C-alpha cells in the first residue's frame, strides 16, 4: 500500500463519514445521494486544520474525498441553482481544498494532475438535462460551469454531473462492489 493511500486510510479513521452525509445540504436538510460508502468528510478534515492552526478565518473546502484502488476523487455537492456566485464559490473551494490535500499527502500539483479527479454533483437538472442527456449518449464529458479549466492542469479529470448521472456514472461504476 503506498503512502498516499495509507494517509487516506488515516483520514478515514479520523474523519470518515458516509457519502450520503457529506452530500447533505444543511439549509434544506436534503441529501443528494443515499449511498453509504465511507469517505473522508473533507469539511471535518478542514475544521481540524482550522483548530490545529488556530485560524480566525476558515478556508473553503469541498465535501468529500474518496479513494478507490489508489485513485482519488474530490467531490463537491451543490444544491440549488448554479449561478455566477455559486460557480465562483466552487472555484475557491477547489483551490483551497487542493492546498489542504497536497499539504496532507505531501505531494505537488503534478501528483493531483495524474491521480485526482474532481466531481461536481449538482441538482439544477432542468437547465442542463437536454445537453447532459445528449452528451451521455455520445459518451462526451460535457464539463459545465467553466470548470473545464481545471482539467489537465490540476486534476486528471473533471466531471459535472446531476444527481442521476452521479448515481449512474460514479456510484454504479465505482462503489457498487467496494467494501464500505
- For residue range 103-157, what is the model confidence (pLDDT) as tens digits? 999 999 999 999 999 999 998 644 544 454 444 444 556 889 989 999 999 999 9
Q: How far is CA 120 from CA 47, 72, 176, in A?
A: 21, 14, 20
Q: In 64-178, which residue ranges form alpha helices assigned H by DSSP?
A: 84-105, 109-115, 125-137, 163-166
User: Model-level pTM?
Assistant: 0.89
Phi, psi angles (nearest 5°) of residue 76: -120, 125
The residue that leads in pLDDT, 2 or 12, is 12
Query: Minimal CA–CA distance to 104: which of 38, 27, 5, 34?
Result: 5
Could you give the percent of the chain with pLDDT greater than 90?
71
| pLDDT value, residue 141 | 62
102 CB-contact burial (10 Å; exposed 0-12 / middle 13-18 / buried 19+): middle
| pLDDT value, residue 136 | 47
pLDDT tens-digit readout, 75-110: 999 988 888 999 999 999 999 999 999 999 999 999
- Here the cell at position 100 is 489542504
Amino acid at each position: 500500500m503506498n503512502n498516499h493511500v495509507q494517509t487516506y486510510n488515516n483520514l478515514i479513521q479520523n474523519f470518515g463519514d458516509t457519502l450520503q452525509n457529506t452530500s447533505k445540504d444543511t439549509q434544506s436538510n436534503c441529501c443528494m445521494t443515499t449511498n453509504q460508502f465511507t469517505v473522508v468528510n473533507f469539511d471535518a478534515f478542514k475544521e481540524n486544520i482550522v483548530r490545529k492552526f488556530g485560524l480566525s478565518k476558515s478556508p473553503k473546502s469541498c465535501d468529500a474525498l474518496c479513494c478507490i484502488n489508489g485513485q482519488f476523487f474530490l467531490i463537491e455537492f451543490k444544491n440549488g441553482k448554479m449561478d455566477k456566485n455559486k460557480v465562483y464559490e466552487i472555484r475557491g473551494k477547489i483551490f483551497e481544498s487542493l492546498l489542504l490535500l497536497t499539504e496532507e499527502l505531501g505531494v505537488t500539483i503534478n501528483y493531483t494532475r495524474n491521480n485526482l479527479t474532481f466531481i461536481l454533483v449538482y441538482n439544477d437538472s432542468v437547465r442542463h438535462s437536454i445537453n447532459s442527456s445528449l452528451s451521455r449518449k455520445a459518451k462526451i464529458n460535457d464539463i459545465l460551469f467553466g470548470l473545464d479549466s481545471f482539467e489537465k492542469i490540476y486534476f486528471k479529470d473533471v466531471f459535472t454531473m446531476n444527481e442521476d448521472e452521479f448515481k449512474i456514472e460514479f456510484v454504479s461504476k465505482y462503489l457498487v462492489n467496494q467494501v464500505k
